[in-house]
Structure 1
């Protein structure tokens, strides 16, 4: 038996009457009820993969999953890296939990999050820590293939289930259980900071606006080859670079699903978390375009839990 929150709908759904999606999709079900879903992003921001701070960061990542320190380790996790718009190299440990208490213990006792909480802003690198933790009625998942588990779906006690709430504008909103009773409207106008945040050399705590949506989209093509790989890396990457409409990628995905069917090896998925205003993220000596700094509604400076010595 699978469990997901389900409310009687009092807010009109976006799905047109009689709509039938043209491609199959799957959502996420749980074997048992849970109160909060957590994704946690502690990260290092440095000059490059060979930066001296990278080694100690990776050592703490390893410690999170071994020995005594691994007691409350995330149920699923990924190690990510990317170069951001400022040319900084970012290493990110992304963890998922179904148990919020286990996550709280991990924050309090494990070397990686404790180190970020203690960093002095004078360190010669940046660090950031974003925690996304919401009730399950504020989470929506969709997968193009049930055979691959990514993100929250990689946690034990979860399963992919067929879903038909897709293929129409507003489908992502309709997939959120809370959208049945809450219009999920912003409390005020969207904003972008008039001036960049004075974030370098400082420790800041940034707050987001009510009903901020955090969307993580994923693509997996490790097993793809030949025509499918060439089609994906040429056509869709070109689409992303050219900022074409969402309809273009959707129509293309539909066509390729019909063409390859069960033989399709390029898998896509995304997850949406709609945050309450209480969500807060921390940034230490980061450039002003990091994370939500350009959009944060509040940027109070905070002191580290206790001064930490120089190092990664």
Structure 2
């Protein structure tokens, strides 16, 4: 009888712990979902005063670029979106890697497309200084699970094999968090390529002011045909009239994304110059109405924006 009571007590305690654990997990998931909903709400409000911060390849100054750890660090900083690059292996698996080759960022050599995933998983990532680390190359599925409910995800280089990426997004429950980039595409081409998928993922065109013969028309077509949520604007000179029309672009329903990564993308308004004088660089973005900034220095940019009440 005594042992029956002990067993009953142990069973009761175990049941309570399981229920408590489930409640905690549900609460945590709800919290993550709520945070993601808030980020999507901000993205959908082109005239909001907040400026969204995108970490280019994650927090690569403290962890290897495009690593899960770089993504996790960006999440902890409070970044709104992490940009990641997608490549396909020899056995048609999607991994997170910027270069077409393994040489610069890993302990391997040669084309990604000539390596199987099993072989790639045996390699290690290098850090920004080129030194070997203990960190591994993630798959797209692993990256999406890491970001699920915590941060928006910008997929770069995934356009040509988006069907596979889209299936992984559905599998991980992250379709609503994804912003897909597209280069040199017209609105009708994107509509033809993706169709109904555009109802569940966000497509962002890249408009190069140096090469597009009529960028204002391209922007207008995208806004009227696809109602895009944002444009990535690239320019090596600050002479284009488009730079004075960011407010109009926002009035018509789209946020304006500009890169502060290196000079050829922003007419010299880059992160390294911001180290010397934040106001002259980040202040220029603010003054021109930019409300999404992709940066290689997310911590510094967040501090600047928060001081000016432009980021939570």
Give yes or no for TM over 0.5: no
Report which of the two structures shows the higher radius of gyration computed on alpha carbons: 2
Greater helix content? 2
Greater strand content? 1
TM-score by length of 1: 0.26
Higher relative contact order (CA 8 A, sep 6+): 1
